[in-house]
Amino acid sequence: MNKLLLEYNTPKKQIRFENSYKINIADKHGGLCNQLWTLVIGLIVCIKQGISVLYVGNFLLDIHATSYCPIGMILSLPAMNDLLTKYNIRIEDGSRINERNTPGLKVLLLGWEILYEPANIDLKIELFQLIRFSHSIFSPALKFVNDIQTNRKKSTINVVHLRIEQDWLDHVSSGRNPRVSPVVVYNEIVDKYINFIQRYIQKDDTTFILTGSSSNKVIDYLRNNRYAYFLFPKITPNREMNAAMDMVIGKTCNNVFIGCGGSSFSDILLHRITGDNIQKYLC
């Protein structure tokens, strides 16, 4: 059994299925943000329909593997449920619920178009902002930020979501009409990031780089020009847990955020980073 599952101890309780839905957030193509999108979609539907409990299936730990964990290992359900009290709904771990053997429990199968309906936009933004991560996710990420800020004695924090991995280059390349080479896409994206960094980020400001690719021309530019940039090490073998820690770091931005247009990670951070004076740009 997965060591993570052995370490996770879900309290036993009597399960009631009246006025409840279940949603399965994980599939083999869904990373952290796709799973968070699906969760928010389920919450929107439940709130609109007056459903009081949303059971959430397992979380996919790595988009390239088939390892899962209960949602409570990634999200702090008690903290989120406190914030959801105003809507008379709570989230529960649904990893042990087999809907085939549970008559009356409806399993939601929903499309992402719900996120883009005008009537749901304000609620969507609020729900993205109330996402709270578990202690094992936020604690090491915040310690990393706080240690750097203490050592540097700087209050300004910039964040760059550098989406330049090969899967993204292939995705953008295949979506062009006519199709262009991933190498062309790479150079276009690099130029955009460097241009925004030159224009909006001061070299001495603390800048956190959120990326799965630490070997590229943008990082080379930052290093060669002596920017004070920092990358959080990938401290777990699980891609989506590492992404969740990056999202915690991203929310600490209080000055300039540079993200990637079309990326679900940047899209969620745009809503989670709040403050009147924060500048936000998408490449």
Ranges of each domain in the chain:
3-129, 135-282
Q: Maximum Cα–Cα distance for the chain, whole Å?
A: 62
Given this model, what pLDDT does residue 271 score? 96
pLDDT of residue 66: 85
Q: Which pLDDT belongs to residue 178? A: 84
Per-residue tens of pLDDT for the chain, all 283 residues: 444 444 444 444 444 567 899 999 997 678 999 999 999 999 999 999 999 999 999 999 998 888 999 999 999 999 999 999 999 999 999 998 876 767 778 899 888 899 999 999 999 999 999 999 999 999 999 999 999 999 998 889 999 999 998 888 888 888 888 888 889 899 999 999 999 999 999 999 999 999 998 899 999 999 999 999 999 999 999 999 999 999 999 999 999 999 999 999 999 999 999 998 999 999 9
Q: What is the pLDDT of residue 13?
A: 45
User: pTM (2 decimals)?
Assistant: 0.90
Position 110 scores a pLDDT of: 85
Nearby residues of 263 by Cβ (< 8 Å), 6 or more positions away: 33, 161, 163, 168
Q: Give the 3-state DSSP-derived string for the chain, with helices as H, strands as E and coil as C.
A: CCHHHHHCCCCCCCCCCCCEEEECCCCCCCCHHHHHHHHHHHHHHHHHHCCCEEEECCEECCCCCCCEECHHHCECHHHHHHHCHHHCCEEEECCCCCHHHCCCCEEECCCHHHHHCHHHHHHHHHHHHCCCECHHHHHHHHHHHHHHHHHHCCCCEEEEECCCCHHHHHHHHHHCCCCCCHHHHHHHHHHHHHHHHHHHCCCCCEEEEECCCCCCHHHHHHHHCCCCEEECCCCCCCHHHHHHHHHHHHCCCCCEEEECCCCHHHHHHHHHCCCCCCEEEEC
Q: Which CATH number fits domain 135-282: 3.40.50.11350, 3.30.360.10, 3.30.110.40, 2.40.50.140?
A: 3.40.50.11350
